Amino acid sequence: MLKAYKYRMYPTKEQEEKFFQHFGACRFIYNWALEQKIKSYEQDGKSISRFDLNKGITILKRDGEHEWLKDVNSQSLQGATLNLDNAFTRFFREKRSFPKFKSKKNPVQAYNVPQNYKVDFENNKIYLPKIGNVKTILHRHYGDGDLKTATVSRTSTGKYYISILVDNGLETPKKSEFSENDTVGIDVGIKDFAITSNGNKIDNPKHLRNSMKRLKVLSKRLSRKQKGSKNRKKARQKIAKIHEKISNQRHDFQHKVSTKLISENQAVVLETLNVSGMLKNHNLAQHISDASWSSFVTKLEYKAEWYGKTILRIGQFEPSTKICNVCGYHNKNITLADRKWQCHDCGTSHDRDVNAAVNIKKFALNTQNLIGI
């Protein structure tokens, strides 16, 4: 089973320069390889393979104009072509967007180290090819697993991290059996972050909204700075630090909630949402982005794989909000403003979100033929 372990790095100034050299070289190779693929398809109607691109890297190094590529770890350069190959695979198989050229203006930079790096837990150092020993806070051990690809990254605030992919040799746990009693339905929202089928409501912390006033002040100051000046760079860094804090708060909150839900239940039921479509509503787009439902669902999915739990889904067009979970009456007149409503047939009073969570669970269990167990 593969797991990633992320550590903070503290490189020297010389090592930072080498990191920037690696970032730039891998970005150059990625853009060069993408250009070669596009030209090959336009001229010959065929796609050039990754192995041919790797041979082309060797030819580039012999060229006097690109001799600087010799100062960069060769396997990291080949990792850039692998990333491009994976991007095209996602484009064709998962219908993702067509691969785009990378820009050096992107505040987040990264490159891969496939092998030949060494981790020293005793001295808190990691040896990287062409870089040397970099001071790293190794706060947790990954055990006796096999080291796979490591990814070195730099955030927009100038912090360096390394993420090490480790194969611990363990097989993915088999899915545990589940029943109606140990299954929970979850309805995500804006007012409340998540509502469970057993009536629990998890408050939405709204990290972005809480920092919006400060962000507006700093953004106004940034707009007044002269372009290209050092003061403008400092102002941009202040904004980046706030966004990084918001991101850390959001991930911390979602990790705690997702771990609790996975540990307390054998199966979790979710509703498939068209988040990209919902973001087109400009009245709710900022609140939806702040909630970051997609990130939360991703955490639930991989933690369920780790612990042998099951994730069930229902279709996005299922009327979970408008159906009475007691008698099945369909209330067609309910609107987004109606937070509570009463069933016309059985007279049951419903909280809109709790009723939706109960129906999400029922729809999924009905599909699994588990209702009544």
Instruction: Please pick, among 85, 94, 177, 353, the residue that the annotation labels catalytic.
Output: 353
Span 1-11, pLDDT tens digits: 899 999 999 99
139 and 191 together in one domain: no
160 and 266 together in one domain: no
Query: Is 187 a catalytic site residue?
Result: yes
* Overall domain count for the chain: 2
192 and 80 together in one domain: no
Span 216-270, pLDDT tens digits: 999 999 999 999 999 999 999 999 999 999 999 999 999 999 999 999 999 999 9
Q: Which of 114-128, 163-177, 310-324 has the highest mean pLDDT?
A: 114-128
118 and 26 together in one domain: yes
Conformational region of residue 64, where left means phi above 0, alpha means psi within -120 to 50, and beta covers everything else: alpha
Candidates 29, 30, 23, 52; CA nearest to 113 is: 23
125 and 191 together in one domain: no
Residue 341 has pLDDT above 70, yes or no: yes
Dihedral Cα 270, 243, 249, 284, nearest 10 deg = -40
Residue 209 in any domain: the answer is no
Query: Is 192 a catalytic site residue?
Result: no
190 and 121 together in one domain: no
Read off the CATH number of the domain in which 306 is found.
Answer: 3.30.420
255 and 315 together in one domain: yes
Q: Which domain holds residue 323?
A: 183-204+251-367
Which residues have CB under 8 Å from 40's CB, separation 6+? 46, 47, 48
Residue 297 in any domain: the answer is yes
67 and 117 together in one domain: yes
Residue 134 in any domain: the answer is yes
110 and 187 together in one domain: no
125 and 195 together in one domain: no
Query: Is 44 a catalytic site residue?
Result: no
The whole-number pLDDT of residue 373 equals 41
Last residue in a domain, options 167, 194, 222: 167
Instruction: Please pick, among 122, 252, 271, 305, the residue that the annotation labels catalytic.
Output: 271
Range scoring the smallest mean pLDDT among 202-211, 238-247, 314-323, 361-370: 361-370
Instruction: Please pick, among 182, 187, 301, 318, the residue that the annotation labels catalytic.
Output: 187
Residue 371 has pLDDT above 70, yes or no: no
Tally: H helices and E strands in the chain:
9, 14
- Please give the Cα distance from 141 to 136 (Å, whole number): 13
282 and 145 together in one domain: no
Residue 293 has pLDDT above 80, yes or no: yes
140 and 261 together in one domain: no
- Please give the Cα distance from 17 to 22 (Å, whole number): 9
SS3 (DSSP) at 46? coil
Residue 227 in any domain: the answer is no
Residue 223 in any domain: the answer is no
